[in-house]
Amino acid sequence: MRKLMSIWGYSLLVVVALPLSALADNGSGEEGDPGLLKRFLEFTTEEKDLGKDRILSPIVAPFYAPESGVGLAVGGLLTKSTDPSNPDLPRSYVKFFGLAASEDVLGIRIVSETFWDNDNIRFNPDMSIRTKTADYYGVGYENGENVDDGSGTTEYTEDSFFFTPVLLYRASGDFFIGARYDINWISTDDEAALILEDPDFQRFGDKFKLGCKSLPQADRCPQPTDCHAPSE
């Protein structure tokens, strides 16, 4: 399965990259023709005005990570003011994308930062859903030192869901107080026979966790948008 998904991941990048490169001049050779590649880059980098104070910036990006392999992320950044009549209010945003990578990784991520009641209340949710193939070598270096990777020894499938909303209230000046909630669920499947015999893995298998903690925070500038940019 892992080999098949690795082939699929690399093939996906080839399917996306090669036609764009080959058709960069749109096959016409005419001077002044922007070409498919340039039009694609313009589409994925230029902001889109959706009306009603909503601005969308597309995201299309290849990536590489040691634990995920080669992959492609597709999504966007949507910004909007919760009160367009207030030019000093930071713009709220929602960042969302789906991704697929060669090491059996599929996922969805949604991150948001929103500003309400003249920036006296902030609500910042973060959610991710992911499925991936991983390896488990046991607890301690000695346990995994002489174990070969493979579907019969170390491999398993992990499905996970994480949701961590943060609610903040302006207590005084630039100081906020609030709470962070942690909701996460992890499930494993297709465990190799060797893993099923490991007591540590079985003890920490499927898990659901719900938590909450207080959160003091000093004011900071929102990352994707200009704090001082007025709404249009």
The dihedrals phi and psi of 197, each to the nearest 5 degrees, come to -90, -5
Residue in the block written with tokens 């990048």: 13
Q: What is the model's pLDDT at position 35?
A: 61
Q: What is the model's pLDDT at position 225?
A: 53
Q: What is the model's pLDDT at position 92?
A: 92
Rounded alpha-carbon distances, angstroms, from residue 49 to 41, 52, 53, 54, 219: 17, 9, 8, 6, 29
Helix (H, G, I), strand (E, B) or coil at 206: coil
Q: Is the Cβ–Cβ distance between 131 and 159 less than 8 Å?
A: yes
Q: What is the model's pLDDT at position 23?
A: 41
Helix (H, G, I), strand (E, B) or coil at 227: coil
Tens digits of pLDDT across the chain (232 residues): 444 444 444 444 444 444 444 444 444 445 545 566 566 666 666 777 788 888 888 888 888 888 788 898 889 899 999 998 998 888 999 999 999 998 888 999 999 999 999 999 999 999 999 998 887 777 776 666 667 776 777 788 889 999 999 999 999 888 999 999 999 998 888 888 777 777 777 776 677 777 887 777 777 655 555 544 444 4
| Eight-state DSSP code of residue 182 | E
| CA distance from start to end of the chain | 50
For the whole prediction, is pTM greater than 0.85? no
Q: Which of 150, 132, 133, 140 is nearest to 198 (CA)?
A: 140
Query: Residue length, the chain?
Result: 232
